[in-house]
């Protein structure tokens, strides 16, 4: 008979496989080795004993054989529920999660290795996806594994490669004419929403969260719980922002069930918070000639969200709502708003990120060269010599 610490291999009535048994904290675990080969069964047992030993010394928690039945779909379900409980679920999260689920959903968690994730990354790169997009997708997979390990549903998680995003920072921003063009093609309920983003640089989720309770006379205060960086901030209403909020006050009344109610949110659609409007935004940008729809199959520009020739869906390429954030930062800097104040408005915590958003345009470069040329032209002119010095020179 084998000692408890060594485990044991045994046969089980009705099973063609060899079984193994091992102990942890006085409890015996029994499971099939999935093989009838004694050598392979011993190898399986030794692997389990190593996992048990790692738990005993505190290196890694032992989860047990049940982890081998867990599928990626279950991990993603748990992650989505976690995001909902923390009010972190966004359309981007759902989109990235959908891609991971489509590829790995039916896989058992223990089958997902670093090599398998690398193959996924290679496939996504072949499909033309940006490194930053792939990173957001694999990041969710990593978060799903981390949550399962934290809750002791899994004992380990695969190492997931992070692609370099150097040089991947978007450079999009809006001139006033460009934004006005896009705004004119937006649905009515989105126009003030997007203009608020254009003026303040606040993120989409932050604007969506704003309630009338957040308005204090001429100040709108963003709660820390609704800010991406966790820190609340405020913006004073004046000029265009003041007029915008007056329009929102006029649009606060909503008719529902033959009754009139006051909307809770400053920006709303029939009294409900503004939801995912990526299609409306993309359509407006295409109409304003600041974007286009590309067929996912033939990779050709098409009109609308479906390619008539391929009957396939399209993807949008062009200006993003997030470009409004870059635009607001750029405008504040050029208006000579003190950087500390501008960072307070936009919610940037670090100077490096703020500088990345302060985009230099071609017109900025053109102005710089013209100013340099003006300086050089002025320096070439013969300097004027004061009369007293001319007189002194004439006596020599």
Condensed to tens digits (0 to 9), the pLDDT of residues 133-143 reads 899 999 999 99
pLDDT at 341 over 70: yes
pTM here is 0.59
Q: Are 313 and 277 in contact (CB under 8 A)?
A: no
Least confident segment among 63-77, 181-195, 272-286: 63-77
Report residue 69's pLDDT band, with 50, 70 and 90 as the boundaries.
Answer: confident
Least confident segment among 236-240, 291-295, 337-341: 337-341
**Secondary structure in 3-state letters for 113-128:** CHHHHHHHHHHHHHCC
Task: Tell me phi and psi for residue 256, to 5 degrees.
Answer: -150, 125
Report residue 395's pLDDT band, with 50, 70 and 90 as the boundaries.
Answer: very low
Average pLDDT estimate for 305-311 = 84
Q: How far is CA 88 from CA 47, 73, 79, 268, 285, in A?
A: 38, 19, 11, 19, 27
Report residue 394's pLDDT band, with 50, 70 and 90 as the boundaries.
Answer: very low
pLDDT at 245 over 70: yes
Residue 297, pLDDT score: 82
pLDDT at 184 over 90: yes
Residue 131, pLDDT score: 87
Residue 160, pLDDT score: 94
> 208 versus 341: which is more confidently predicted?
208
Q: Are 79 and 144 in contact (CB under 8 A)?
A: yes
> 325 versus 393: which is more confidently predicted?
325
Residue 68, pLDDT score: 78
Instruction: Map out the domains of the chain as residue ranges.
Output: 4-62, 70-150
Task: Report the sign of the C-alpha dihedral through residues 71, 74, 78, 84, in that order.
Answer: positive
When the pLDDT of each residue in the chain is averaged and rounded to a whole number, the result is 85
pLDDT per position as a tens digit, 142-179: 999 999 988 888 878 899 999 887 655 556 788 899 99
Task: Report the sign of the C-alpha dihedral through residues 221, 222, 225, 227, in that order.
Answer: negative
pLDDT per position as a tens digit, 25-49: 888 889 899 899 999 999 999 988 9
Structure tokens at 78: 């748990």
Average pLDDT estimate for 329-349 = 78
pLDDT at 238 over 90: no
Closest to 8 (Cα-Cα) out of 52, 42, 34? 42
pLDDT at 58 over 90: no
For residue 71, give the DSSP letter: B
Average pLDDT estimate for 296-307 = 84
pLDDT at 287 over 50: yes
CA angle 390, 395, 396 (to 5 degrees): 100
**From edge to edge, which strands make up the β-sheet containing 233-236?**
215-216, 219-222, 233-236
Question: Per this entry, what is the length of the chain?
Answer: 396
CA angle 192, 198, 204 (to 5 degrees): 75
* CA 104 – CA 123 distance, rounded (Å): 13
């Amino acid at each position: 008979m084998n000692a408890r610490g060594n485990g044991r291999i045994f046969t089980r009535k009705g099973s063609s496989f060899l079984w193994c048994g091992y102990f942890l904290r006085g409890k015996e675990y029994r499971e099939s080795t999935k093989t009838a080969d004694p050598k392979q069964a011993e190898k399986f047992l030794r692997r389990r004993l190593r996992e048990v030993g790692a738990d005993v010394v505190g290196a890694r928690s032992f989860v047990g054989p049940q982890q081998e039945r867990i599928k990626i779909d279950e991990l993603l379900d748990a992650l989505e529920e976690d995001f909902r409980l923390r009010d972190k679920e966004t359309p981007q999260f759902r989109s990235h999660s959908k891609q991971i689920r489509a590829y790995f959903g039916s896989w058992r968690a223990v089958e997902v290795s670093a090599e398998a994730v690398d193959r996924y990354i290679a496939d996504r790169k072949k499909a033309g996806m940006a490194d930053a997009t792939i990173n957001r997708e694999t990041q969710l997979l990593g978060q799903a594994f981390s949550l399962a390990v934290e809750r002791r549903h899994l004992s380990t998680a695969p190492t997931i490669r992070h692609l370099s995003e150097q040089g991947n920072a978007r450079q999009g921003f809006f001139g006033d004419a460009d934004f006005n063009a896009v705004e004119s093609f937006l649905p009515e309920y989105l126009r003030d929403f997007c203009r608020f983003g254009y003026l303040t640089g606040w993120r989409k989720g932050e604007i969506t969260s704003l309630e009338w309770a957040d308005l204090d006379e001429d100040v709108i205060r963003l709660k820390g719980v609704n800010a991406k960086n966790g820190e609340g901030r405020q913006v004073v209403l004046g000029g265009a922002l003041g007029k915008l909020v007056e329009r929102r006050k006029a649009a606060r009344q909503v008719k529902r069930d033959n009754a009139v109610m006051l909307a809770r949110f400053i920006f709303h659609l029939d009294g409900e918070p503004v939801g995912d409007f990526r299609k409306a935004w993309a359509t407006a940008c295409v109409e304003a000639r600041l974007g286009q729809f590309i067929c996912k199959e033939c990779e050709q520009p098409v009109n609308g969200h479906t390619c008539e020739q391929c009957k396939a869906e399209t993807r949008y390429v062009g200006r993003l709502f997030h470009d409004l954030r870059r635009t607001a930062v750029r405008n504040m800097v050029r208006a000579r708003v003190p950087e500390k104040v501008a960072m307070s408005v936009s919610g940037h915590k670090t100077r490096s990120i703020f500088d990345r958003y302060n985009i230099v345009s071609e017109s900025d470069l053109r102005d710089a060269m013209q100013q340099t040329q003006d300086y050089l032209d002025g320096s070439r002119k013969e300097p004027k010599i004061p009369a007293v010095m001319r007189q002194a020179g004439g006596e020599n």
